[in-house]
C-alpha cells in the first residue's frame, strides 16, 4: 500500500545504491518538484549533494529568500545562489516578442547552469570526475508527456551538458518519476520541506519575464513585483489559496491610460489580474473572486504602486485564453 513513508524509504535506498560515494548536483527552481527531489537526495546522501539556485532577476518578491533561508538553512542543504540577473536583463533588452523572450530565457538559463558546473568542476580539481549525477524533479505526468511544460527552466533533457569535457556526462537521478503532484507534496511535508514551498502554486520557469507585456526592464520588474506581492497577500488573507490554481499578475507595459490622482492627471499602466481555477492547467476557468477582495486589491495597488493607475480583471476561460498572457 502507498504511504509516503514507504516511498521515502524505498527511494532513499535506491538513491544510495545509484550514487554510492559520488557527488550529486541539482538545479533548484524554488518550485515544489525540484525542492522535494533535492530533499530526498539530501536525506539519502547528505553533503554529497550541492544545489544551484539561479537568480535570473525575474523572480517574485521574497522567492530568493525563501530558497536561501526557509529551504536551505532550515533543511541543512548546501545551496549555492548564483545571481545572474544582469545576464538575463542584458539579453532581454529590446525584446518584446513572447517566443523570443522565452527562447532567450531558456538559453541563458542553460548557460548559467553550465557556467556554475564549470566553476564547481574547476574547484573540485582532480576530484571533478566524482561529480557524476544530476537530480531532476521529473514527475510521472512529465514522463508520460515526455518533456512536460513548454518551458526550459527545468532543463529536462540536459543530462549531457555542453561545454564540459567529452568524457564527463551526468547520469540522472529522478526520485519522483513514479509520482503525481499531490504525492510529491505529501512526501515533501514528511521530509520537512517548508509549507510555503510545498504548497506553492505553479509559477512559470521564465518567471515575470512573460508577465510584462512589452520589453522587460528592471524598473518594470520592480513595479510588477510590488503589485504581485499585494495580490498574493490579499488572496492568502481572504483564504482563496485553495480555491485558485494560480493568479498571474500581468503588467501591460506597452499600454498607457489616463487617470487622475489628487489634483493631478496621471498617464500610467494597467495591471491585469488573472485568477484561474483548474485541475491540470490544460483547461481553466476564471475564478469569481469576491468583489470586496477585488476592490481591496485594486485600491492597494493603485495607492501604492507607482506607474499603475488601473487594475483590470481577465474574465476569459482557457480555451480560448491561455493562463499566462505570453
Q: Any known ligand binding at 34?
A: yes
153 binds ligand XMP (CB under 6 A): yes
The nearer residue to ligand XMP, 12 or 199, going by C-beta atoms, is 199
Q: Any known ligand binding at 85?
A: no
Q: Among residues 174, 222, 241, 324, which is the contact residue for ligand XMP, using CB under 6 A?
A: 324
Binding segment toward ligand XMP, per CB under 6 A, in 51-59, 92-100, 111-119, 146-154: 146-154
How far apart (Å, rounded) are the C-alpha atoms in residues 136 and 151?
15
Q: Any known ligand binding at 280?
A: no
61 strand-pairing partners: none
Residues 211-270 that bind ligand XMP (CB under 6 A): 246
| Peptide bond just before 319 cis, omega within 30 deg | yes
Helix (H) or strand (E) holding 61: none
Binding segment toward ligand XMP, per CB under 6 A, in 69-77, 109-117, 181-189, 201-209: 201-209
Nine cell digits for residue 281: 492547467
Contact mark string toward ligand XMP, 261..290, x via CB under 6 A: --------------------x---------
The nearer residue to ligand XMP, 204 or 275, going by C-beta atoms, is 204
Picking from 161, 150, 149, the residue whose alpha carbon sits closest to that of residue 33 is: 149
How far apart (Å, rounded) are the C-alpha atoms in residues 172 and 177?
11
Q: Any known ligand binding at 73?
A: no
Q: Among residues 202, 229, 232, 259, which is the contact residue for ligand XMP, using CB under 6 A?
A: 202
The nearer residue to ligand XMP, 85 or 245, going by C-beta atoms, is 245
Q: C-alpha 145: how far from its chain's center?
A: 20
Least Å distance, CB 203 to ligand XMP, is: 6
Least Å distance, CB 69 to ligand XMP, is: 23
Under 8 Å between Cβ of 132 and 170: yes
How far apart (Å, rounded) are the C-alpha atoms in residues 84 and 87?
5
Q: Is 140 helix (H, G, I), strand (E, B) or coil?
A: helix
Q: Among residues 57, 137, 151, 270, which is the contact residue for ligand XMP, using CB under 6 A?
A: 151
**CB within 8 A of 24, min separation 6: which ones?**
41, 45, 48, 49, 50, 131, 132, 133, 134, 135, 173
Please give, one letter per residue, the 3-state secondary structure of 309-326. EEEEECCCCECCCCCCCC
Picking from 23, 70, 73, 19, the residue whose alpha carbon sits closest to that of residue 47 is: 23
Q: Among residues 4, 68, 82, 149, which is the contact residue for ligand XMP, using CB under 6 A?
A: 149
Q: Any known ligand binding at 74?
A: no
Binding region for ATP:
29-35
Binding region:
29-35
Q: Which residues bind ligand XMP (CB under 6 A)?
A: 149-151, 153, 202, 204-206, 246, 281, 318, 322-324
Amino acid at each position: 500500500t502507498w504511504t509516503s513513508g514507504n516511498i521515502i524509504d524505498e527511494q532513499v535506498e535506491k538513491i544510495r545504491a545509484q550514487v554510492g560515494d559520488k557527488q550529486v548536483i541539482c538545479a533548484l527552481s524554488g518550485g515544489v518538484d525540484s525542492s522535494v527531489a533535492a530533499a530526498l537526495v539530501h536525506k539519502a546522501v547528505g553533503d554529497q549533494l550541492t544545489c544551484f539556485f539561479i537568480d535570473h532577476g525575474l523572480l517574485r518578491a521574497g522567492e530568493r529568500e525563501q530558497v536561501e533561508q526557509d529551504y536551505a538553512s532550515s533543511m541543512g542543504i548546501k545551496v549555492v545562489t548564483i545571481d545572474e540577473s544582469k545576464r538575463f536583463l542584458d539579453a532581454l533588452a529590446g525584446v518584446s516578442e513572447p517566443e523570443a523572450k522565452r527562447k532567450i530565457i531558456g538559453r541563458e538559463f542553460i548557460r548559467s547552469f553550465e557556467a556554475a558546473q564549470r566553476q564547481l568542476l574547476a574547484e573540485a580539481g582532480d576530484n571533478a570526475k566524482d561529480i557524476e549525477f544530476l537530480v531532476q524533479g521529473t514527475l510521472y505526468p512529465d514522463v508520460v508527456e515526455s518533456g512536460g511544460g513548454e518551458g526550459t527552466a527545468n532543463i529536462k533533457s540536459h543530462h549531457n551538458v555542453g561545454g564540459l569535457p567529452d568524457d564527463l556526462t551526468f547520469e540522472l537521478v529522478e526520485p519522483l518519476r513514479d509520482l503525481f503532484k499531490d504525492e510529491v507534496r505529501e512526501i515533501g511535508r514528511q521530509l520537512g520541506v517548508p509549507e510555503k514551498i510545498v504548497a506553492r502554486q505553479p509559477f512559470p520557469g521564465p518567471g515575470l519575464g512573460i508577465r510584462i507585456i512589452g520589453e522587460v526592464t528592471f524598473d518594470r520588474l520592480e513595479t510588477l513585483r510590488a503589485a504581485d506581492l499585494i495580490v498574493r497577500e490579499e488572496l492568502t488573507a481572504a483564504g482563496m489559496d485553495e480555491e485558485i490554481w494560480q493568479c498571474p499578475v500581468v503588467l501591460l507595459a506597452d499600454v498607457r491610460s489616463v487617470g487622475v490622482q489628487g489634483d493631478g492627471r496621471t498617464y500610467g499602466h494597467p495591471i491585469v489580474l488573472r485568477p484561474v481555477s483548474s485541475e491540470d492547467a490544460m483547461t481553466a476557468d476564471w475564478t469569481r473572486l469576491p468583489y470586496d477582495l477585488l476592490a481591496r486589491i485594486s485600491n492597494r495597488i493603485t495607492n501604492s504602486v507607482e506607474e499603475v493607475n488601473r487594475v483590470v480583471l481577465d474574465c476569459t476561460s482557457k480555451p480560448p485564453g491561455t493562463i499566462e498572457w505570453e
